[in-house]
Amino acid sequence: MDDFSTMPNELGSNVDGYATDWVGLESLFRASPQVGEPDPKAEADLQAIRLVESILQKDPIMSHELHLQFRMALNLRQSSLADANLAEFMAHDHSLSLLASSSITQALLREMVTVAANIQLLACACLATFSSRLRAVQPRRWEGSSGPRMFIVEGTGPYEPRDAGSPSWIEEYRVYRAIWHLQLHADLLVAGDKLNWPESDLEHLRTNHIDWNHLPDVAGEELRAVSECLESLRGPTIQPSSSSSSSNSHLISQIPDVSQLRHRFDVWVPPAQPKPSCNHDDVAYIWGQGLEMTGRNRAANAWEACQFRTSHSRWAKFQVCSLQDSRPYRALGMPIWDLWRLYGLGLWNALYPIGPNRATVPTPDGSEVPMGSCPPSCGGEIDYRFSVYIDARLKMEGQERDAWVEGK
């Protein structure tokens, strides 16, 4: 990236306002041939480094811990890297500002901007794909009549899901975190092989997808959901997966370039980061949209409970398929959705997590909803509702495979 004084006047006068995200910054480089032709040996321009550092510090997603993933990925690409093993590399302080480094070349900075822009594009592709799959499902509920002592289930009927709007910050963060983790995982294996790290380190990276990066346990299903989504965007799996548990499902070894995807997707800037809050009456806390949800997911326990209840053929009334395979559950993006979206899908209750319950619950769209589920549920009905979503996704997969084979 040559001196920014060589940029066209119309770009140079508005560079700080234009390059507020990775795709915008990469577009800026592409729009200016002078900036877009990096010298593989020359040091990066200070203003270019400032732009990148500004995004790392101000971007709603990157500024919450993920800037560390960017800095680690950059350090792994340094020609001076000489760490003898994984522990030695991880022990470095990777939070240091890029402005404190004296060894960032134009080519390296440009490469990292391209990597980050690709991740932004892939995150939007995953979120759009998960949303599209959900919209293709017609949810159903139990129907019946109220008897003197209990609700009598007589059949099932469709219901209209409530639109939760654009992805929330926590939903986007979970997807971005997963893709950055996959990117860094691939980078570590490349660097480790190049530097002849001990085979035990490389094997640890291959078999322990979460431990090395200190991700919370709940991030495991998020990783698998995003990895499988990225794999499907290049082409559906021709042979159906077996009904295996999520613990032994594989992760992709290399995230794709967005140019390899079968379809083009819109790109957008992530929503604003929620403010930290310890108030249990806060809307973000009630609906699992706050910063504290980066390490927790209250909905994960609900899905595990459904699987437990319906194991060993103990199916709910009218249940249409098994819930023991988590793959279609992940394919619908369920591990990344917040509680507000799950409520709109009829898969979560409106309630205060802590404290006395009240008649109504405030919502992210500014309205209030009555306590309970929408539409109301009965007993083990949630198992049936989930089975409708899972069965619909399994049928989608079959249609996608058929269309893929026919188009080959």
181-234 per-position pLDDT tens digit: 999 999 999 999 999 999 999 999 988 878 888 888 889 999 999 999 999 998
* ω into 356 cis (within 30 of 0): no
Q: What is the 3-state secondary structure (H, E, C) of 311-356?
A: CCCCCCCCCCCCCCCCHHHHHCCHHHCCHHHHHHCCCCEECCCCCC
Q: Using CA atoms, how far apart are residues 131 and 338, in angstroms rounded to an integer?
A: 13
CA dihedral (280, 282, 283, 289) positive or negative: negative
Half-sphere exposure of 336 (CA within 13 A, CB side): 31
Strand partners, 146: 151
- Say what the pTM is: 0.92
Q: Using CA atoms, how far apart are residues 361 and 351, in angstroms rounded to an integer?
A: 7
Half-sphere exposure of 342 (CA within 13 A, CB side): 28
Q: What is the pLDDT of residue 152?
A: 84
| Region for 244 from its dihedrals, namely left if φ exceeds 0, alpha if ψ lies in -120 to 50, beta otherwise | beta
CB 175 within 8 A of CB 123: yes
Q: What is the pLDDT of residue 20?
A: 83
Say which DSSP state 13 is in: T
Q: Using CA atoms, how far apart are residues 274 and 271, in angstroms rounded to an integer?
A: 9
Q: Using CA atoms, how far apart are residues 341 and 348, in angstroms rounded to an integer?
A: 9
Q: Using CA atoms, how far apart are residues 320 and 315, in angstroms rounded to an integer?
A: 9
Q: Report pLDDT digits (tens) over 381-396.
A: 999 999 999 999 999 9
- Sorted by sequence, the CB contacts under 8 Å of residue 297 that are 6+ apart come out as 218, 288, 335
Q: What is the pLDDT of residue 101?
A: 82
Q: Report pLDDT digits (tens) over 130-141.
A: 999 999 999 999
CB 109 within 8 A of CB 38: yes
Q: What is the pLDDT of residue 242?
A: 43
- Sorted by sequence, the CB contacts under 8 Å of residue 31 that are 6+ apart come out as 8, 11
Residue type, 180: W
Q: Calculate the CA dihedral of residues 84, 87, 89, 94 and round it to 10 degrees.
A: -170
Q: Using CA atoms, how far apart are residues 294 and 143, in angstroms rounded to an integer?
A: 37
CB 335 within 8 A of CB 126: no
CA of 392: how far to CAs of 87, 90, 233, in Å?
45, 43, 19
Locate 392 and state its tokens.
Answer: 């619909």
Q: Report pLDDT digits (tens) over 29-57.
A: 887 655 556 777 788 889 899 999 999 99
Q: Using CA atoms, how far apart are residues 398 and 316, in angstroms rounded to an integer?
A: 25
CB 18 within 8 A of CB 29: no
Closest CA to 189 of 324, 274, 86, 91: 86
CA dihedral (189, 195, 196, 200) positive or negative: negative
With a cut of 50, which residues of the chain have pLDDT below it? 1, 3, 5, 9-13, 239-248
Q: Using CA atoms, how far apart are residues 293 and 270, in angstroms rounded to an integer?
A: 17
Give buried/exposed letters for 378-396 (b at 16+ CB in 10 A, else e): bebbbbbbbbbbbbbbbeb
Locate 248 and state its tokens.
Answer: 């032994």
Q: Using CA atoms, how far apart are residues 247 and 209, in angstroms rounded to an integer?
A: 11
